[in-house]
Amino acid sequence: MNETEWLAEFASALERGDIDGASAMFADDCYWRDLVAFTWNIVTLESRSAIADMLRARLSDVKPGSFQLAGRPGWFTFETVRGRGRGHVRLKDGKAWTLFTALLELKGFEEKKGPTREHGTQHGAFRDRVTWTDRRNADARELGYERQPYVLVIGGGQGGIALGARLKRLGVPTLIVDRNARPGDAWRNRYKSLCLHDPVWYDHLPYLPFPDHWPIYTPKDKMGDWLESYTKIMELDYWSSTACRRASFDEAKGEWTVVVERDGREITLTPKQLVIATGMSGFPEIPAFPGADRFKGKQHHSSRHPGGEGWAGKRCVVVGSNNSAHDIAADLWEHGADVTLLQRSATLVVRADTLARNRPLYSEEAVASGITTEIADLTTASMPYGALPKVMQPVVEQIRREDADFYARLEKAGFKLTFGEDNTGIGPMYLRRGSGYYIDVGASDLIADGRIKLKSGVEIERMTEDSVVLDDGSELKADLVVYATGYGSMNQWAAELISPEVADKVGKCWGLGSGTAKDPGPWEGELRNMWKPTAQENLWFHGGNLMQSRLYSIFLSLQLKARMEGLPTPVYGRAPVHHKA
């Protein structure tokens, strides 16, 4: 059975309500990943019985139909009673190994685009004409004061901006608040040498891709300028220099009370929906080493590191071995510092060029062959997380063969390498928030040849006035200690802004429950609490890298629009209520 035959038979079974027949069309080892279309949730069903259970609960409400093959092999379009979507199937011996369904549009609430785009003006002569500028100024005066937003987004980085753009196009009154002085400052305020480690084809924002001349790896200040310009072009309602102080939910009214501070005064907002879009992490984690209070040099977290200027000839210790640690160590070396990288645990390293070659969907070649950003995103999303290990393991083996000399040089320098607990590489590690990883853009050569010194497999035992003492008995004299030691869970923001009780109720954000380092079980099969309903009514989390912010803003915006319009949104497979984070 090929994809055409499978889709026809599957569509027929669903139309007849033959749930047993439909579930029997899946392989013994199978996955159905649904993004909102069938479940009003982001969920992966990982067995025939799980698929049958979902269909029994949802088929009569969803009423799927109009299945049509679309373009490349395995792809199809479909409709439900509420919207239109796109799907993909991968077969194994004539049965479905993976099925993917994604809702992309709500019927009756389509975005205005192409032939339905707005006219923009009224041709003719009119007294008291209301211009575009008049309308925009009125919106700025009124939203948050005379009328309330339906959605309040806390955090105006790439995630909040991408979501705001989607909601704007859907006609959802949305206000974004951010404590920074300007959109894009979250990037501008990082160390000067920072560039995106992902290539340009991976990093577009919704609706407005980077121009063809844009550099492959975007410098952080250029990214900041792009985000600031994007908020203006997309006409987002964005309050900068605005700090969220506290929030509470009124269950009877079904709305939030959120107090923010803007221009030196407190303003109370009452949105129906609250989205925390402060990144994919919580607060900076700084280890409490004995003697740290006695250290007379400078010490700070990597998030507070301004750059290597002023440290020429000084002794600098960078604690950690992730992307930030390597970037900061290289930046300090470039400015003439004596740098030691303290690697406390094994790290996955992959060369940026090698990673790009193994991401063929996001490349100039992909664009030339007709693979749009939407096709690349949905293709990536169509692979369930549970199936990733089998897919990634041969890719990792290929990378290790391609770059064997590179890895040998690092190991000879004493660098401890890992390729993931199950040899699956950087993708699963990023999702699990496990051991550190580094996309190499130059620091590895500095480590391999000793220009950046290395201490690996050791921990800091204590600090003195002028040194870091390690648990192997060695001592590193230091004028600067930079802690590139990561961040806590994103739900720390919920604890600070709402309450510890709500944070505990929601549980951790990010991670799959893989049972690997820093990602304890049970297995959930999807990123915890991201872009989907949480255990706290009307509270959502949005974040991730630029690709994730772009892709998943589609599904979060549709969920929010449906609720604003009063559509029934029964959630299937809702995450359990937690008791502590």
Domains by residue range for the chain, with CATH: 3-106 (3.10.450.50), 135-282+488-564 (3.50.50.60), 292-483 (3.50.50.60)
Query: What local confidence, expressed as pLDDT, does residue 193 receive?
Result: 83
Per-residue CA distances from 332 to 33, 176, 311, 477 (Å): 44, 35, 7, 16
**The two three-digit tokens of residue 310, written as one number:** 């002023």
Query: What local confidence, expressed as pLDDT, does residue 489 receive?
Result: 83
Helical segments of 422-486, H only: 426-432, 443-448
Query: What local confidence, expressed as pLDDT, does residue 355 receive?
Result: 84
Instruction: With both helix axes pointing from N to C terminus, report the angle between 220-233 and 158-169 in degrees, rounded to the nearest 10.
Output: 20
Helical segments of 422-575, H only: 426-432, 443-448, 492-497, 500-506, 546-564
Contact, 277 vs 438, CB < 8 A?
A: no
Contact, 302 vs 275, CB < 8 A?
A: no
3-state secondary structure of 388: helix
The 3-state secondary structure of 292-343, one letter per residue: HHHCCCEEEEHHHCCCCCCCCCCEEEEECCCHHHHHHHHHHHHCCCEEEEEE
Per-residue CA distances from 402 to 209, 294, 357, 395 (Å): 32, 47, 11, 11
pLDDT tens digit at each of 581 positions of the chain: 899 999 999 999 999 999 999 999 999 999 999 999 999 999 999 999 999 999 999 999 999 999 999 988 999 999 999 999 999 999 999 999 999 999 999 999 999 999 999 888 778 788 888 888 988 999 889 999 999 999 999 999 999 999 999 999 999 999 999 999 999 999 999 888 889 988 999 999 999 999 999 999 999 999 999 999 999 999 999 999 999 999 999 999 999 999 999 999 999 999 999 999 998 778 899 999 999 999 999 999 999 999 999 999 999 999 999 999 999 999 999 999 999 999 999 999 999 888 888 888 999 999 999 999 999 999 999 999 999 888 889 989 999 999 999 999 999 999 999 988 778 777 766 676 545 789 999 999 999 999 999 999 999 999 999 999 999 999 999 999 999 998 888 889 999 999 999 999 999 899 898 887 778 889 999 999 999 999 999 999 999 999 999 999 999 999 999 999 999 999 999 876 554 54
Residue type, 23: S
Query: What local confidence, expressed as pLDDT, does residue 435 receive?
Result: 53
Query: What local confidence, expressed as pLDDT, does residue 578 receive?
Result: 53
Instruction: With both helix axes pointing from N to C terminus, report the angle between 546-564 and 373-381 in degrees, rounded to the nearest 10.
Output: 80
**The two three-digit tokens of residue 201, written as one number:** 């084809």
- Please state, in angstroms and rounded to a whole number, the distance separating the CA atoms of residues 5 and 67: 12
Query: What local confidence, expressed as pLDDT, does residue 579 receive?
Result: 43
Neighbours of 111 (CB within 10 A): 17
Query: What local confidence, expressed as pLDDT, does residue 581 receive?
Result: 47
| Tokens 């700025």, residue located | 140
DSSP, residue by residue, 164-220? HHHHHHTT--EEEE-SSSSTTHHHHTS-TT-B-SS-GGG-PBTTBPPPTTS-SS-BH
Name 158's Cβ contacts closer than 8 Å, sequence gap at least 6: 205, 227, 546, 549
